[in-house]
Amino acid sequence: MLLGVDVGGTFTDAVLLDDGTVHTAKVPTTPGEESEGVMKAIDSVLAVAGARPSDVDEFFHGMTVGTNALLEERGARTALIATEGFADLLEIARQDRPSLYHLCAPKPASLIDPELKLEATERTGPEGIVEPLADGEPDRLAAALEEAGAESVAICLLFSYLDPTHERRLAEHLRERLPGLHVSASHEVLPRFREYERASTTAIDAYLSPLLARYLGRLAEATVAAGIPAPQVMLSSGGVAPAEEAGRAGAWSVLSGPAGGAVGAALLARLSGDGNALGFDMGGTSCDVCVVEDGAVRRSDSRTIDGRPIQLPTVDVHTVGAGGGSIGWRDPGGALRVGPRSAGAQPGPACYGRDGTEPTVTDANLLLGNLAADSVLAGGVALDIEAAERAIGTLAGELGLDPLETAAGIVRVANGEMVRALRVVTVERGVDPRHFALLPFGGAGPMHAAAIAEELGIGRLICPRAGGVLSAFGLCASDRRRDTARTVMLSGADLTAERVAVAVAEMRAAAGTRMDDARAEVVYGMRYSGQAFELSVPGDPEPDPADLTARFEDAHEDRYGHRDPDGEVVLVDIRLALVIDGPEPRPAAASEGSVEESTRQVRFGQEWIDTPILRGEPEAGRTATGPVVLELPEATLVLPPGWSAEIDEFGTIKAER
C-alpha cells in the first residue's frame, strides 16, 4: 500500500493506493500545526480503506509549509556572511524595478535583518584566492552570530562556486562551534555562477530549513509512533527525498505542493490521453497550471517566488491567486475583482457555515447551481446556501447588481485569471494550447474546466476520478530524485568529451551512495560567447561535443529564429538529475451501480437549464451528454451543452466539445 498526503491552503488530502483500488480522504488543513491535519487525514483514509497503519509500505508527503513561511516572512532568524564589501548584495539585487513604469513599487523585504549582515575579510577571484581568510575570522564571525541570536546563517562568498576553500572552512567551524545553528553554504546549495541568484537561493535555504526541519521532525515522530513509515518528501523538482534530507535543505521543497499535482497530471496524461495535457489545479486558495509534453511535466532551472529568485530545479508551474475560497470584492474604481485574498481553511467560504461572511467563488458556484445546496463536500462540509446568498448579496449591493449576476460575474472574473495563467505557460512560450487536452484537478478545477477550455479553443478534457486529491495521488507516483548543478565554462579546445565526462562523474559521486542505482538525466546550459543567458540542451552523460553544439544551434534557431555559424559556443553549466523510477499506479474504474441520478436547475450563460446530475463514481464505458453535472467524491465536473463524455478503464472522464 502506498500513502500520499498533500497539505493545501484549505484542505489536507490523503490517498491510499492498494493495487488498482484508490481510497481517498479530505480534512480541513490546520494552519500553524499542519502535522495535526496530516495525521487526521491519515486516520481518515485508513478508516475508509479498512486498513491498519502497519499495512502502509511507503508514505509520500507534499506540503506548502515552506511556501507559506516564505510568503508570510515567518522563517528563522537568519544571518548572511558575505565577502567584505558585499553584505548588501541581496538589497542591490539586479538593480531593476518590479514594474518599469511604477517608480515606487516596493521590492520584497529582506529576509536578513541589518544587524545580521556580516562580512568576512577574504577574497577569491576567478583565478583563485586573492586574499586568504585570516585565522581569527571564523572565531570572530561565530561570536558575532552567537551574540546576535541567529538561528541560521547563509554563507555566500565571491567565486565560491569555483573555489569553495573559504566557505568550506567557515561552514565547518560554525557547525562545530555552534551545533544548534543551521548553516547553508552556497557551494553546497548552488555551486553555480550569478552571484545574486546564488546568494538569494542560499539565504532562502537558510531561512526555511530550521522551520522545515522542526515540522518534518514532528511529523516523522508522529508517523513512526503510529506505526507508519517516515515520510518521503516531495521536492520542487518533482522527486521525493527522505524527510531528514528535505529538512536540511529547505529551498529544495518550496514548491513541494504544486509538484505533486504536476506529477499526477503527467501520469494521468500518459494513462488516459496521448501524453500531452495542460495541468489545471484549482484548489481552495490558488490555481497552479503546468504543461505536460510527451508524458512528462516541463521543468525549469529557476523560479521567482514573491520577487525572490530560487535558482534550483523546479517543475515549471505558474500560480495565480484564484481558488474556490478566493474573495470577490469591489475595487476603488467600482469594478468587480476576485482574489488573490482567500477565505482559507478558517473561516472558509460563507457557505461552509463557519462564520465566514465574505463572498467567494464557491459561494457563487452554489448560487448558480454548479453545487447542490443539499450536498456534503469532501471533508464533511455541509453547504449553507442562505449564508452564501447573504455574502453575495452584500457585494451585489456595493456593485449595484443583481445577486445572481454578481455570482456569475465572480465566476467569469475568476475564469479570466486562470485563462491568463494558462496563456503564460502556453501562448507566451510558443505553445499552442489547442493541441493539448485540459486536465483539471483540485477540488474546484473540474467545475470551471469547460468554460476555460472554450476560452482557449481546447476541445478535450481529461478529468481524473480522484481529481480532487490528484496532488496526493501524484505523490504516490513520484520518482526518487536528486538534482545538482555546476558551472564549468568550457569553450573552444577546452570543450572536450573527457572534460565533460569527468565533471558529470564528479557531480554523480558528490550526490552520495544512496543513488548508486539511479539513471542520470543531464541538461547542458549553453550559449554563444557574449550572450547573457543560456539555453537548456538535454544530452548524454558522456556527450560528443560536436553533437552537443549542433543540438544547441538547433535549439537557438528554434527559439530565436537564427544561428551564428561563426559564433563560439560556450558550455556554461551542467545540471544532473539522478532518478530512481517510482511506482506507476494504475487506478481502476468504479464498479457498476455506484451512481445516483437526479436533476436540478443549473445556469449556463444567461439560461437556467434543468440538468441531469450524476452523483458518485461512474463505471467504465458509461457516457453522458451535456448539459450534465458529475458530482465525484472530491470534485464536481460541470459540462455545458455541446459536450459529451465517456469514462475509461481508469475511471477518468474523457470529455470532448
Nearest to 197 by CA among 308, 104, 363, 338: 308
pLDDT of residue 152: 97
Task: Return the H-helix or E-strand segment holding 142.
Answer: helix 137-148
Quick one: average pLDDT of 313-318? 88
Q: Give residue-wise pLDDT tens across range 202-214.
A: 999 999 999 999 9
Give the chain's largest Cα–Cα span: 81
Q: Give residue-wise pLDDT tens across range 604-649.
A: 989 999 999 999 888 889 999 989 999 988 889 999 999 999 999 9
Q: Give residue-wise pLDDT tens across range 17-35.
A: 887 788 888 888 887 788 8
Quick one: average pLDDT of 448-474? 92
- DSSP character string of 196-240: HHHHHHHHHHHHHHHHHHHHHHHHHHHHHHTT-PPPEEEPTTSEE
Taking all residues of the chain, what is their mean pLDDT, rounded to a whole number?
A: 90
pLDDT of residue 175: 96
Quick one: average pLDDT of 53-81? 89
**Is residue 577 within 8 Å of residue 313, measured between CB atoms?**
yes
Count of CA atoms in the C-beta half-sphere (13 A) of 317: 29
pLDDT of residue 378: 62
pLDDT of residue 433: 94
Q: What percent of the chain has pLDDT over 90?
A: 61
pLDDT of residue 345: 66
| Region class of 457: left (phi > 0), else alpha (psi between -120 and 50), else beta | left
Quick one: average pLDDT of 365-379? 83
Lowest mean pLDDT among 224-228, 434-438, 580-584: 580-584
pLDDT of residue 232: 92
SS percent in the chain: helix, strand, coil, step 5: 35, 30, 35
Structural domains of the chain in order of their starting residue, each with its CATH number: 71-212 (3.40.50), 479-580 (3.30.1490), 595-656 (no CATH)
pLDDT of residue 283: 81
The band of 515, judged by pLDDT with boundaries at 50, 70 and 90, is: confident
Nearest to 119 by CA among 145, 101, 100, 147: 145
Quick one: average pLDDT of 434-453? 93
* The pLDDT of residue 590 is above 80: no
Lowest mean pLDDT among 50-59, 258-267, 317-326, 616-625: 317-326
How far apart CA 277 and CA 88 sit, in angstroms, is 43
pLDDT of residue 347: 83
pLDDT of residue 300: 86
| Region class of 635: left (phi > 0), else alpha (psi between -120 and 50), else beta | beta
* The pLDDT of residue 150 is above 80: yes
**Is residue 542 within 8 Å of residue 497, measured between CB atoms?**
yes
The band of 558, judged by pLDDT with boundaries at 50, 70 and 90, is: confident
Quick one: average pLDDT of 418-446? 91
pLDDT of residue 494: 92
pLDDT of residue 646: 95
Quick one: average pLDDT of 6-22? 84
The band of 370, judged by pLDDT with boundaries at 50, 70 and 90, is: very high
* Top-confidence residue, 493 or 582: 493
* The pLDDT of residue 593 is above 70: no
Distances (CA, A) of 212 to 109, 181, 220, 242, 256: 21, 14, 12, 13, 12
Planar angle of CA 211, 485, 208, nearest 5 degrees: 10
pLDDT of residue 379: 61
pLDDT of residue 318: 86
